[in-house]
Amino acid sequence: MKRAMLIINPSSGKEKAMNYEEEAVNILQQNHVDVTVKYTEKEGDAIRFAKAACENHFNTLVAMGGDGTINEAINGLASESERPNFGFIPLGTVNDFARALGIPMQPKKALKVLAQQHTKPVDIGRINNQYFMNVLAVGAIAEAVYDVTPEQKSKFGPLAYLIEGGRALKDKTPFDLKVTYDGKQWNGEAYIMLIALTNSVGGIQSFAQHAEVNDGYFHIFILREFSLPKVFKIIPDLFSGNLQDNAQVEYFPASKLKVESDHELVVNIDGDEGVNLPFEAEVMHNELHIFVPEE
């Protein structure tokens, strides 16, 4: 008897999440004899629901909400030894994880992916004892994310983060950075460090064009130099997927790393404020089976 759990954040998608509940349940009922619906009310609810889905041997877990809801569901799943197949309907502003997996941004089209019942093994990341799905960021851009208002998100979408990041960079000085990874080490000064699991960062789907969702690696970008004239040389590479070839950027892949600095810095984890440096992170290879469109 196949069973499914549907987690809904009622406030997601400009409070339109509930509009898709009936269709989501109908689709899940095509392949499951029982569908349980859970509604989040506060932070941590999706983690708790996802853990319960594992402990009670559900076959499928689907989360409907923004990046925060999806991140919580993944944290609930990753901490358990037995996990259901996972699907999600993206209702956030950026939806990088969905972009990387080819999941449509339109909820009705994303729901049709669930009907296909096609899964793919996908990597997630672990930082200390927390799991993440897309990116870690250190430096000015990481701090600027906290200053993006809901109004800016609605007006500019993912570009709001790029705008705030550019403003923050012009007043910043570089910080020292020590990165130990896969038996190697990088030392130097940096303005920004981005550790990407997928090709899409900040809504820019070509950011790490060569990254795959299950290649077993982080893709690390360190901005070593910064001046306004040089920024205009970076932008074309940023949108063409050639950032790793830019002379101002240090790039390397890694499956496991430790990041240290003498400066007091906080890492941004999938858009939210995370832990202080130093931190350790590793790729959890093929950790989850996620519903994606048939190739």
Query: For residue range 149-162, what is the model confidence (pLDDT) as tens digits?
Result: 555 555 544 454 55
What dotted CATH number matches 3-124+287-291? 3.40.50.10330
Using the predicted structure, report yes or no on whether residue 173 has a pLDDT greater than 50. yes
Q: How far is CA 30 from the centre of its chain?
A: 29
Question: Which pLDDT value is given to residue 88?
Answer: 96
Average pLDDT score over residue span 96-103: 92
Question: Which pLDDT value is given to residue 94?
Answer: 78
Q: Could you state, in order of their start, the residue ranges of all structural domains in the chain?
A: 3-124+287-291, 135-286
pLDDT > 70 fraction of the chain, expressed in percent and rounded? 78
Which of 99-103, 238-242, 267-271, 286-290 shows the lowest mean pLDDT across its residues?
Answer: 238-242
Q: Can you say whether the dihedral through the CA atoms of 168, 270, 273, 175 is positive or negative?
A: negative
DSSP annotation string for 201-261 = BTTBTTTTTT--TTSS-EEEEEE----HHHHHHHHHHHHHT-GGG-TTEEEEEESEEEEE-
Using the predicted structure, report yes or no on whether residue 60 has a pLDDT greater than 70. yes
What CA–CA distance (Å, rounded) separates 233 from 99? 26
| Stretch (H or E) spanning 16 | none
CATH topology of domain 135-286: Tumour Suppressor Smad4 (2.60.200)
Assign 171 a pLDDT band (cuts: 50, 70, 90): low
Residues 263-277 pLDDT 10s = 999 998 987 888 899
Using the predicted structure, report yes or no on whether residue 48 has a pLDDT greater than 90. yes
What CA–CA distance (Å, rounded) separates 223 from 70? 29
- pLDDT, the chain, mean: 84
What CA–CA distance (Å, rounded) separates 274 from 276? 7
Average pLDDT score over residue span 188-205: 81
Question: Which pLDDT value is given to residue 84?
Answer: 98
Question: Which pLDDT value is given to residue 211?
Answer: 81
Question: Which pLDDT value is given to residue 17?
Answer: 77
Question: Which pLDDT value is given to residue 158?
Answer: 46
* Cα dihedral 225/275/9/161 (nearest 10): -20
Assign 200 a pLDDT band (cuts: 50, 70, 90): confident
Assign 106 a pLDDT band (cuts: 50, 70, 90): very high
pLDDT > 90 fraction of the chain, expressed in percent and rounded? 58
Residues 75-91 pLDDT 10s = 999 989 899 999 999 99
Question: Which pLDDT value is given to residue 160?
Answer: 47
User: Is 205:236 a contact under the CB 8 Å cutoff?
Assistant: no
